[in-house]
Amino acid sequence: MKLAIPIFATTVSASCHGRPPAYANAKCCADLAADASLQGKVYLPGSSAYTTRLGEYYSANAALAPSCMVLPTTTDEVSKIAALIHKTKCQFGMRAGGHSAFAGSNSVAAGVTVDFGYMNTTTYTAGDETAGVQAGSTWGKAYAALDPFGVTVAGGRASVVGVGGFITGGGYSFHSNSAGFGCDTVRNFEIVLANGTVVNANADENADLWRAQKGGSGNFGFITRVDLDVQPTNKLWAGFVGFQPEQIEGYYQTYLDFVDNMASDLASQTLLGVIANEGPNITRNAIVSNSRGVVRAPAFDRILAVPNVTETLFTDSINVIVPVFTGPTPLGLFSNWIVEMYSSDIRMLTFIDAALLRATAEMRIAAPGSKFQVLLELQPVTQSMVQHSVANGGNVLGLERVVADGPAVMFLIALTVDTAANQDIILPLTLKFRDEVNAFADSLGLNKNWKYAPYAFGDQDPLSHYGNENLALIRSVSKKFDPRGDFQRLRRSGFKIPV
Ligand SMILES: Cc1cc2nc3c(=O)[nH]c(=O)nc-3n(C[C@H](O)[C@H](O)[C@H](O)COP(=O)(O)OP(=O)(O)OC[C@H]3O[C@@H](n4cnc5c(N)ncnc54)[C@H](O)[C@@H]3O)c2cc1C
């Protein structure tokens, strides 16, 4: 494919010291587009490939239009791209599955978006206990590739979610209670450093980078592949259970009882989903799962005894079940994800429920005619999960503090709005709702002050909550593997290391 290059391509000196960023950005795009080995892989504004790809972001907020996109197909190409960015000092962003929501999570308004969308294969050798998954894969693709072997990996609970963002931020899966976070199942990262050098990071080689990368977000290099422990079966028993509105007390209390006992059945998990939208009704459901495929394990006895209106529970391969969970995920709506972490306490859950009713009533009045959805997810983080992390070599999430006195509940607010104008009205009300819940948690000493990066809003600075020791490791690894600080200064997407 021949692309028009609307920027100068020649007579530029190799060094760009002192040049404005616009110059470096234009030169990077021109050099990438002129590289014969990248033909067809550099998308420039105005081309149909560029426009189509920009339309493939989960959130319209995230779809920033860069000076160019480059979609490498091999680690060598990533190395070449990294070396060029390093030399030219242009700004860049990183995109894997493109499912983070905030502006600046996975693209750049000026500079190069390095898009791993073509690096999406999964390899598995029967008998080996790891699967090599490229960073640009979605979890749906990885599950499908592993399905014939009867195994799976601890990945996302929606097919569309990308490997890169999920694994670098933690990764909450159907296997978290039995295997820890997704990042805890990484045996090896293949990473292209800022200067283009390719390294492996595992327990024996670059062990500091291996640990820091488990939760350290996109701060150290371009991850090209993760080698993941496979989980012993691809079978999953899972589904949604929808509860009657009058069962609200049993709904929250049986969830808390379940969470208190999660260590006694590591394959079984539950999370709660509460959904309100422009209509008058509220939906309260639980997603229950058993990662060994056991039907109605005794751990669910109490929660399933609460009168419910719908059940979609079935056993099948994760490759079949996860697309059912994903359902239709329309692209290009105005999405915002916000996250907090509280003590697992009935007062928090009932307060959140009542505050959501008040907040959405206010939203309906403030933005009549709008279409929006506020999805709350309440997910447990338990000592059993964190113990797996420690046993697998540790990560930098700093959750030991969070679960020191018992399980915690991760509180995700996922807001989706139809138009930018309606978002301008509804997002501030959503933040007000979050602030109200935080104030309540603070007043009772139940706020854990910890933020999960894959769910975090752009200003939530998740790494600043990981604790001093983990931050010291993250800083030293950044200095060692990216001494010039490209991933802090030139990278314009994702969460940085707090200064
Ligand atoms: C429908 C839906 C379901 C979800 N389900 C879950 C779930 O079950 N569990 C869960 O934990 N989260 C879940 N999430 C959140 C999800 O994990 C995050 O949005 C995550 O960032 C998405 O990954 P991505 O690859 O699509 O990221 P992108 O948006 O493409 O990238 C986000 C960030 O990841 C980093 N990154 C991306 N690629 C690379 C790379 N190659 N090298 C280094 N860093 C890189 C960068 O910092 C980048 O800024 C869900 C999100 C959605 C929209």
- Provide the b/e sequence for 263-282 (b: ≥16 CB within 10 Å): eebbbbbbbbbbbbbbeeeb
Residue 125: the pLDDT is: 80
Q: Whose CA is nearest to atom 9 of ligand 1?
A: 172
CA 448 to centroid of ligand 1, rounded, Å: 23
Q: Is 1 exposed, middle or buried (0-12, 13-18, 19+ CB in 10 A)?
A: exposed
CA 445 to centroid of ligand 1, rounded, Å: 31
Give 113's strand partners.
Answer: 69, 93
Residue 315: the pLDDT is: 96
- Name residue 357's amino acid: L
Q: 122-232 with 239-463: one CATH topology?
A: no
Q: Whose CA is nearest to atom 1 of ligand 1?
A: 158
Q: Which atom of ligand 1 lies closest to the CA of 495?
A: 47
CA 398 to chain centre: 17
| Tokens matching residue 236 | 């999953």
- What CATH number should be reported for the domain whose range is 239-463? 3.40.462.20
- What CATH number should be reported for the domain whose range is 122-232? 3.30.465.10
218 lines ligand 1 (CB under 6 A): yes
CA 308 to centroid of ligand 1, rounded, Å: 33
Tens-digit pLDDT profile for the chain (499 aa)? 333 333 332 223 333 345 567 999 999 999 999 999 999 999 999 999 999 999 999 999 999 999 999 999 999 999 999 999 999 999 999 999 999 999 999 999 999 999 999 999 999 987 889 999 999 999 999 999 999 999 999 999 999 999 999 999 999 999 999 999 999 999 999 999 999 999 999 999 999 999 999 999 999 999 999 999 999 999 999 999 999 888 898 999 999 999 999 999 999 999 999 999 999 889 999 999 999 999 999 999 999 999 888 999 999 999 999 998 777 778 889 999 999 999 999 999 999 999 999 999 999 999 999 999 999 999 999 999 999 999 999 999 999 999 999 999 999 999 999 999 999 999 999 999 999 999 999 999 999 999 999 999 999 999 999 999 999 999 999 999 999 999 999 999 999 999 9
Give 381's strand partners.
Answer: 408
162 lines ligand 1 (CB under 6 A): yes
**What ranges do the domains of the chain cover?**
22-115, 122-232, 239-463
164 lines ligand 1 (CB under 6 A): yes
CA 40 to chain centre: 28
Residue 332: the pLDDT is: 82
Does domain 22-115 correspond to CATH entry 3.30.465.10? Answer: yes
Residue 19: the pLDDT is: 59
**Minimal CA–CA distance to 49: which of 30, 31, 33?**
33
Query: Can you tell me the distance from the alpha carbon of 104 to that of 111, in angstroms, rounded to the nearest whole number?
Result: 12
* DSSP calls for 449-486: ----GGG--TT--GGGGS-HHHHHHHHHHHHHH-TT-H
Residue 7: the pLDDT is: 32
Residue showing tokens 């020649």: 10
Q: Are 88 and 24 in contact (CB under 8 A)?
A: yes
493 lines ligand 1 (CB under 6 A): yes
